[in-house]
A and B are shown apart, each in its own frame.
Chain A
Amino acid sequence: MKVTFPHMGETYIALKGFFEDLGVDVVIPPECNKKTLQIGVKYSPETACLPLKVNIGNYVQSIENGADTIVITGSCGPCRFGYYGILEKEILRDMGYDVDMIVFDPPSEDIGRFISRIRKITNNKPVYKVADSLYKGYRIAKELDDMNKMMFAIRPREIKKGEVRRIYGEYQKEIEKAHGTREIFKVIDDNKKKLKDVRIDADRKVLKVGIIGEIYTVIEPFVNLYIEEKLGDMGVEVDRSMNVSEWIETNMFSKLLGFNSERDIDKAAENYLKTAIGGHAKQCIGNAVLYSRKGFDGLIQLLPFSCMPEIVASSILPSVSRNEKIPIMTLVLDELTGESGYITRLEAFVDMLGIRKETKVE
């Protein structure tokens, strides 16, 4: 059995560590690229949401590299994500790929099934061993989020432009070669040390922008056209409202134990959207409010074209923007999103934020 899974930002590193510790053979899909998207767009339903299309591209590229089993997470509604597994299997079948698809619905839905599926792919490794690796995987995700935060802060303040990019490039090569959680931790740790040594201008005035919206487009840099790097280069410190470790916390641990780790976010959203409506729309609104309270200069909402919950959120955000006094720009992403128009919009937004901040200070 050779296991693969779809990409979502750095998630693959945590998953790779997890599987390798348990002795599972994994095939990491090639980093998302034009070809990935082309394949996905060609074989997926035209108006399926973008994550599904990119997933299909990931699978095909992994299958070409020998994968025969796909592992994904699932949900039980209300959004499309809950049917991804079913439809993706159909698409692959019609393409002539007969692969196994193992869907992990959140353990809070059915813990027994969750465990039996894990046992299936790990060849009946004892539960404590699995739990241990799962925890290590989660720790990796935590470390990665931490590393990202460092990069977000350093990029706009670098004295020598491009330092972070150079270090990150080296890190990517190293992480490829690392196997098992122990080696992965080491690479991340080394990288963090290098980042610490980057010379920065600590007094530089930078704008702070929060990225909110649909989780996949927030986390996967290929579909958001590397927005964090682009903004960083424009002198903006970004913050990502959602990341992998938090996702694991809410979906794997908190819900299972029956507490709500997102109470603050929910509460902040309360005045605008009372019920959860699927996807991360409520978090999007709640985070928008929280960012504004934290004094951020602006927010960018990312969503895939036709995303159901985020369309509701995008109808509400103008009110949030007005009441909480924070500029918010919505960027809809799909396979046709062009680089140059995108940069223009980002630049215009950042310029506006800059001017707004100056006039405010005066």
Chain B
Amino acid sequence: MKIGIPKGLFYFKYYPLWKTFFEKLDCGVVTSPTNRKVLDSGVKLCADEACLPVKIYHGHVDSLNGKVDAIFIPRIVSIMKHEYTCPKFLGLPEMIKNSIKVTSRIIDTTVNLRGQHGDLFDFAMETGSIVTKDRYAIMNAFRDGLHEQHEFEKRLKECGDFESALKKDHDRNIPRPEKIAILGHPYVIYDSYINMDIAKKIQREGYSIITPQMIEDDIIRKYASKLPKRHFWTLGRENLGAGLSLLKCTDVKGIIYLSSFCCGIDSLMEDYLERQVARSSNMPYMKLVLDEHTGEAGFNTRLEAFLDMVRWREQNESNVSTHG
């Protein structure tokens, strides 16, 4: 059986798990490259007001459609106890089915770890049983998948680059001492097509990058708990916790928040973070909003201006500290 995995949204979090899982069950796994065509078809097929990542996801489904036996579009309600992903993830299979005539089979099993009994293995069983009756094989494939995922996350923690972590060719040497943080949802900060390869651009300017996935979970949790309410958005919590924790790191010289136009989570959580940063630190901070109309030239200009400001700040501040 040939399974298509759309290269968007939680692909950028769980691809190693899913790929290994299906491959161990003797399935072929197919993805499609992100390019202008995928973007354009996504924009055309998807509701106007949706955010860019959801649109691109539609484009990927469209490009896989008919070319594979099944397309894997899980309904990811929750990946963390007491928390949710985003309303759009909850309704993603329906959005797709009602916007695209999908001829391949759709695998839309549910991941819901919100409640007490949320169990990943239920999800694995349900998904695997579409491919094979062998429960034992499914268990094993899933265990292998989790192992791969774990190893992948370790690599990602070191390099902060999705592709390298995937290909296992990340270089962990010569990290530059000065860092620029890139915050945002994994499918924005790791999709070099959407974000116009921002990481490389920053690295070329002599900084290394740091992303939320490179920060320890308990640190993120600790700082995120500064919000006077229990978090219910996993993606919001991660970015807020990461952002606040970085304010204390002297090697971090600036923070860039990559957001998508119309992202409901960012519209509140990014704003909350931005207010805290402005209030309690003088960390250079910039929000960059991406949508299908974002032009690379304007994007580069803003990025360069920001980095110039960071450098200028550095020089000034070191002057101050020598006197202080």
Contacts and interface: CB of A to CB of B under 8 A. Distances in A.
A306 interface: yes
Interface in A278-335: 278-279, 281, 305-309, 311-316, 318-319, 332
Nearest to A93: B275
B264 A314 contact: no
Contacts of A313: 91
B2 interface: no
A306 B262 contact: yes
Nearest to B274: A45
Which interface residue of B92, B229, B267, B270 has the most chain A CB atoms within 10 A? Answer: B267
Nearest to A279: B87
B22 to A, nearest CB: 24
A66 interface: no
Contacts of A315: 46-47, 50, 91, 94-95, 98-99
B232 A76 contact: yes
B187 interface: no
A277 interface: yes
Interface in A92-134: 94
Given A77-B83, A87-B268, A275-B90, 18 more contacts: A45-B270, A76-B232, A78-B84, A78-B233, A82-B232, A83-B269, A85-B229, A90-B272, A90-B275, A306-B49, A311-B49, A311-B88, A312-B91, A312-B94, A316-B91, A316-B94, A316-B95, A319-B98
Contacts of B268: 45, 48, 80, 83, 87
A243 B92 CA distance: 28
Contacts of A78: 84-87, 90, 232-233
7 contacts: A273-B91, A281-B91, A306-B49, A308-B87, A311-B49, A312-B90, A332-B49
A276 B83 CA distance: 15
Contact of A306 (B98, B230, B267, B271): B267
A319 B83 CA distance: 30
Interface string B59-89: 0000000000000000101000001111110
Contacts, number: 116
Interface string A16-48: 000000000000000000000000000001111
B87 A281 contact: yes
A39 to B, nearest CB: 17
Interface in A47-92: 47-49, 76-80, 82-83, 85-87, 90
A318 B98 contact: yes
A306 B94 contact: no
Interface residues of B, number: 39
Given A86-B228, A87-B272, A275 B49 contact: no
A318 B87 CA distance: 19
A3 B94 CA distance: 42
A158 to B, nearest CB: 37
Interface residues of A, number: 39
Contacts of A272: 94, 98
Interface string A239-272: 0000000000000000000000000000000001
A323 B77 CA distance: 27
B263 interface: yes
A277 B91 contact: yes
Contacts of A76: 230, 232
A77 B233 contact: yes
Contact of A77 (B84, B228, B262, B272): B84
B86 A275 contact: no
A266 B275 CA distance: 39
B264 A308 contact: yes
A49 B267 contact: yes
B261 interface: yes
Contacts of B1: none
B227 interface: yes
Nearest to A309: B87
A270 B85 CA distance: 22
